[in-house]
Amino acid sequence: MAEPETQLLLGVGLIEKDTNGDALWVWCFPSTTTELRDLLLRKCCLTNKNKLLHTFVFGQYKRTWFYITTVEVQDSPVLKKVTHFSIVLTAKDFNPEKYAAFTRILSRIYLKYGSPVKMMESYIAVLTKGICQNEENGSFLSKDFDARKAYLAGSIKDIVSQFGMEMVILYTALMLKKRIVVYHPRIEAIQEFTRTLPALVWHRQDWSVLHSYVHLNDDELEALKTCPGYIAGFTDPEVSNRPDLYDVYVNLADSEITISPIVKEPMTMGKLHKEIGQLIVQSAEDPDKSDSQVIKDISLKTKEILNTLASFTEAYDDAAEQMLKI
């Protein structure tokens, strides 16, 4: 059973960049660890040297999801020494649309009042009642944002049009709970792509494998390595020189997928893989089918395979391991 909305939010924080160019963590509720604060400062684009503004980013660290909305301040009478600020939310659930909507409302409140107190009032309202209503700054209702909608928000059809039959490599890697690393210089491209991949194994409905924004930082990589299988997004091209981090490497910018020599044998493509690949491509290329229908087609095929294998193995989900030997 899903947790009540009010138990999903973990915290709210505020990062400001002042007229001197310094980005500082200025406020949070409740208190947070130094480790998490450093991570969120790294994720927020205000500490980037390239000065690119990313209006919204999200990711996960040790089962805590983070959502960051960043705003440029222009001619504000209440924030005279601030050029930009980021609103940070941490939560237990994956739902970018929900938290993007809420951080936008909190941003409008901060722009107007220049004080965390008013933001905290709205945060407490959502924390306790799942709703905050404000005619001027917008209303937010947690119940409007269903988890399944978040799972289906990406476009599987776009990914298939980019990778074609190679989709079966990603499908197999996910079925076998392998480590997938995705590189692209633009974080927005990574987030859109990686959030969609868990839908290929819809029978699990498990988005905890998603780590859509990872830096080549020791703490982050150590945390990642404790996960048995994952989808990890990086904007640093240096990740291609880290074969210890992946079984499958996706260079999204060049539309290339590389299989690590370590998993070459279990990832060998046979007749069944070709069949699955064709099904994925045919379904995705059908102009009458929506993304959710394509996901359903793939899911039905997966269940058919697992049911066949389950007839001679007790481990239902791990039957995928045997799938590769057919």
Residues 149-202 pLDDT 10s: 999 999 999 999 999 999 999 999 999 999 999 999 999 999 999 999 999 999
Asked if 25 and 42 count as a contact pair (C-beta separation under 8 A), the reply is no
CA distance 237 to 215: 11
Torsion angles phi and psi, residue 55, rounded to 5:
-65, -30
pTM score > 0.85 for this model?
A: yes
Q: What is residue 305's predicted lDDT score, i.e. its pLDDT? A: 87
Q: Are residues 80 and 144 in the same domain?
A: yes
How does residue 52 score in pLDDT terms, banded at 50, 70 and 90?
Answer: confident
CA distance 62 to 44: 18
Q: What is residue 3's predicted lDDT score, i.e. its pLDDT? A: 55
Split into its structural domains, the chain has a count of 2
Q: Is 314 within the bounds of a domain?
A: no
CA distance 317 to 298: 15
Q: Are residues 283 and 176 in the same domain?
A: yes
Q: Which of 47-51, 114-118, 206-210, 232-236 has the lowest mean pLDDT?
A: 47-51
Most confident of 30-44, 113-127, 186-200: 186-200
pLDDT at 231 over 80: yes
Torsion angles phi and psi, residue 252, rounded to 5:
-65, -35
Q: Is 34 within the bounds of a domain?
A: yes
How does residue 306 score in pLDDT terms, banded at 50, 70 and 90?
Answer: confident
Q: What is residue 267's predicted lDDT score, i.e. its pLDDT? A: 83
Residues 201-227 pLDDT 10s: 999 999 999 999 999 999 999 999 999
Can you give 38-95 as a three-state secondary structure string?
A: HHHHHHCHHHCCCCCCCCEEEEEECCEEEEEEEEECCCCCCCCCEEEEEEEEEECCCC
Q: Is 308 within the bounds of a domain?
A: no
Q: Are residues 173 and 128 in the same domain?
A: no
Residues 242-280 pLDDT 10s: 999 999 999 999 999 999 998 888 788 888 899 999 999
Q: Are residues 82 and 160 in the same domain?
A: no
Mean pLDDT of the chain: 91
Range(s) of the domain holding residue 59: 5-148
Q: What is residue 36's predicted lDDT score, i.e. its pLDDT? A: 94
Number of H helices, E strands in the chain: 11, 12
Tell me, what CATH number does 9's domain have? 3.30.450
CA distance 279 to 221: 35
Q: Are residues 170 and 241 in the same domain?
A: yes
pLDDT at 298 over 90: yes
Q: Is 61 within the bounds of a domain?
A: yes
Q: Are residues 105 and 208 in the same domain?
A: no
Q: Are residues 128 and 169 in the same domain?
A: no
Q: What is residue 317's predicted lDDT score, i.e. its pLDDT? A: 53
Average pLDDT over residues 4-11: 78
Helix axis angle, 271-285 relative to 291-310, nearest 10°?
Answer: 160
Torsion angles phi and psi, residue 205, rounded to 5:
45, 55
Q: Are residues 142 and 160 in the same domain?
A: no
Tell me, what CATH number does 198's domain have? 3.40.50.11500
| All residues at 6 or more sequence positions from 305 whose CB lies less than 8 Å from its CB, including other chains | 272, 276, 319, 323
Q: Is 132 within the bounds of a domain?
A: yes
Asked if 18 and 24 count as a contact pair (C-beta separation under 8 A), the reply is yes
Q: Are residues 141 and 250 in the same domain?
A: no
- The domain boundary residue, chosen from 95, 117, 148: 148
pLDDT at 300 over 70: yes
Q: Is 311 within the bounds of a domain?
A: no
